């Protein structure tokens, strides 16, 4: 019995985040692959949400990691209570949470993401030492199979939608669009070109002189790569 209990505990730990008891990144990815395949097979739609706590690093730096962990557990509990039993919730690491919403359309995912954002930002978090903290989240959304039918694509696109929400001022929800895909493709192209340039030594260094007009002398250089 003791050995069986240990085996059960190890299996649980392999799939779950030790702080929040939510699914971890590895197990969540498996779930995402399963639901995307199912949506293609049965012509159903679903959604993937990325949630990131705004300025969480500042909370950790100023109030300590113990308070940060306390907030993560509270947010995990709030999300778990609000979502449907069929929804899949995970903590991917740090202050990042993710949700799979099976059998969900665009209107439903927009409404739910707005509700989740309001739920967290309107909640008065009180730490164990009595400190009141206001929390806001940014949310990136992607639909499957509309925006992609494999885990890698959906994770990349939802992360991009989250990045866009952060760029637009944080504390908001953003649904992935084809314009975002063009932006991502451009980023990936530049990443490939830079990697190739590093590999094959294609960078050129130029030193452009800075002239002091009054004395007609070179006082420095601007380095250009």
Q: Which residues are known to be catalytic?
A: 95
Which residue shows structure tokens 């094959």? 200
- 78: Cβ contacts below 8 Å, ≥ 6 apart: 119, 120, 123
In this structure, the number of other CB atoms found within 10 A of the CB of residue 199 comes to 8
In this structure, the number of other CB atoms found within 10 A of the CB of residue 107 comes to 8
Q: CA-to-CA distance for 200 and 56, rounded, in angstroms? A: 40
In degrees and rounded to multiples of 5, residue 123 shows phi and psi of -85, 135
Rounded to the nearest angstrom, the gap between the alpha carbon of residue 127 and the centroid of all alpha carbons in its chain is 25
Which residue shows structure tokens 């730990």? 13
- What H or E segment, with its residue span, contains residue 104? none
């Amino acid at each position: 019995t003791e050995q069986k209990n240990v085996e059960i505990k190890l299996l649980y730990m392999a799939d779950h985040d030790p702080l929040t008891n939510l699914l971890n990144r590895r197990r969540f990815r498996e779930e995402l692959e399963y639901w995307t395949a199912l949506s293609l097979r049965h012509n159903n739609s679903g959604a993937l949400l990325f949630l990131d706590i705004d300025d969480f690093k500042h909370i950790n730096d100023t109030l300590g990691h113990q308070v940060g962990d306390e907030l993560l557990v509270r947010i995990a509990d709030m999300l778990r209570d609000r979502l449907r039993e069929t929804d899949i919730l995970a903590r991917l690491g740090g202050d990042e949470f993710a949700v799979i919403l099976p059998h969900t359309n665009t209107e439903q995912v927009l409404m739910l993401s707005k509700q989740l954002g309001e739920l967290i930002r309107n909640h008065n978090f009180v730490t164990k030492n009595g400190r009141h903290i206001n929390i806001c989240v940014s949310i990136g959304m992607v639909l499957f199979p509309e925006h992609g039918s494999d885990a890698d694509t959906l994770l990349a696109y939802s992360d991009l939608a989250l990045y866009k929400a952060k760029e637009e001022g944080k504390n908001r929800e953003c649904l992935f669009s084809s314009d975002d895909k063009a932006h991502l493709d451009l980023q990936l192209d530049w990443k490939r070109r830079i990697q190739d340039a590093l590999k094959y030594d294609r960078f050129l260094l130029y030193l452009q002189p800075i002239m002091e007009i009054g004395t007609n002398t070179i006082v420095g250089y601007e380095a250009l790569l």
